[in-house]
Amino acid sequence: MSVKEFSYNGSGHAATQLRHLTIRQLRSLAALSAKGSVTAASTQLGLTQPAVTQQLRQLQDLAGLPLVQRTGDGMLLTEAGREVLALAERVEAAITDCQGALDLLAGRTGGTVHLGAVSTAKYFVPRAIAAFSKRHPKIEIKLSIGNREEIREAMHGYDLDCAVMGRPPADVSVDVRQLGRNPHVIIARKGHWLEKDSGLSLTDLVHETFLTREPGSGTRTLMEGMFQKSDLEPIIGMEMSSNETIKQAVIAGLGIAFISAHTVAHELAEGRLVVLDVAGLPIVRQWYVIRRSDKVLLPPAQAMFDFLGSEGANYLPDVPEFGARSSAAVSSSASSRPSPPERE
């Protein structure tokens, strides 16, 4: 595939001149990265194509390096372009934070918090938000729900003030506070033929059909690691992007599932689902609330981060007692000193 670099005039620069760049130039690069063409970028920005092209050329001249290359798949950023794009994201985040601070000073608003949560956390995060909002009625909360990779990307792009997830990302520098325990179990429909067996091993389950989350889900990753440690491979029946769909499919008898106990607290209490007594389960991980280390939080976001870190555990679902072996595992984990968060 032939590659032609987007033209630029940087040969006369002994050093970069990025101190002269403009926000419009950065936004042009960000739009091009998102849309893949000058035409689509100009539409997003409400500018003419020649205007966007000029902004990109000026930015490349200031950088002294090619920022964009034209390929058969569209216009893509070079390594230098990705560095400048990261700068653009930080600048946009700083502008948003500054506007929020000015609004607070002017008394126009109580502020806005951009909170993210992995989909499994949606079973308790809204309750925590409700309690927080009673104390801070003027603060607006914008909640984004996604799988682990989606929340990680949002944190990477400075789109969130803080987030609730099971494993802090390794590629983003974050401050972490432990929120509470997150036990994972294997569930089956009421009346499943293994329901009354105790001390099952993973080998006993290799012929069972597992219903799983999509790749990129933290629960899916944890399940795969569990089987890999035993040199086993589960039978995957269906992949689903929703815990609710998985629960209904298990209730319908389509298979069994490895899942956070917090997602099935109601169904377990009502007797529609059961926890299989499998040796080594539950696997107890931790919930964490995280924030970027390099992002200055405004008072509303800092208040939310502190609240979740200190009181978030109060809003975790009540999980019914598991089998004797599982209950002992939960008790042992609860009484032991928490381990440092795993980062991947």
Do 78 and 65 form a contact (C-beta atoms < 8 A)? yes
Report pLDDT for 327: 38
- Mean of all residue pLDDT scores within the chain: 86
Q: Which range has the worst mean pLDDT, 103-112, 148-157, 161-170, 261-270?
A: 103-112
Which CATH code fits 182-284?
Answer: 3.40.190.10
Q: How confident is the model at residue 125 (pLDDT cuts 50, 70, 90)?
A: very high
Do 119 and 147 form a contact (C-beta atoms < 8 A)? yes
Report pLDDT for 106: 63
pLDDT tens readout for residues 33-91: 999 899 999 999 998 999 999 999 999 999 889 999 988 778 899 999 999 999 999 99
Which CATH code fits 4-97?
Answer: 1.10.10.10
Burial 220-242 (b: 16+ CB within 10 A, else e): bbbbbebbeeeeeebeebeebee
pLDDT tens readout for residues 233-281: 999 999 998 999 999 999 999 999 999 999 999 999 999 999 999 999 9
Q: Is the pTM of this model over 0.75?
A: no
**Residue 48 vs residue 342, higher pLDDT:** 48
Do 240 and 250 form a contact (C-beta atoms < 8 A)? no
The residue written with tokens 């002017």 in the block is 106
User: Which residues on adjacent β-strands are paired with residue 201?
Assistant: none
CA max distance for the chain: 78
User: Which residues on adjacent β-strands are paired with residue 22?
Assistant: none
Q: Which range has the worst mean pLDDT, 209-213, 270-274, 335-339?
A: 335-339
In this model, does residue 339 exceed pLDDT 60?
no
The whole-angstrom separation of Cα 11 and Cα 214 is 48
Q: Which stretches of 144-298 are DSSP H helices?
A: 148-156, 218-229, 243-251, 265-270
Give, as one character, the DSSP assignment of residue 205: G
Domain 110-180+286-318 has what CATH class?
alpha beta
Q: How confident is the model at residue 324 (pLDDT cuts 50, 70, 90)?
A: very low
Q: How confident is the model at residue 285 (pLDDT cuts 50, 70, 90)?
A: very high
Taking the CA atoms of 267, 270, 272 and 276 in sequence, report the sign of the dihedral they define. Answer: positive
| C-beta atoms surrounding 304 within 10 Å | 25
Decide whether 4-97 matches 110-180+286-318 in CATH topology: no
Do 91 and 41 form a contact (C-beta atoms < 8 A)? no
User: Which residues on adjacent β-strands are paired with residue 141?
Assistant: 113
SS3 162: strand
Domain ranges of the chain: 4-97, 110-180+286-318, 182-284
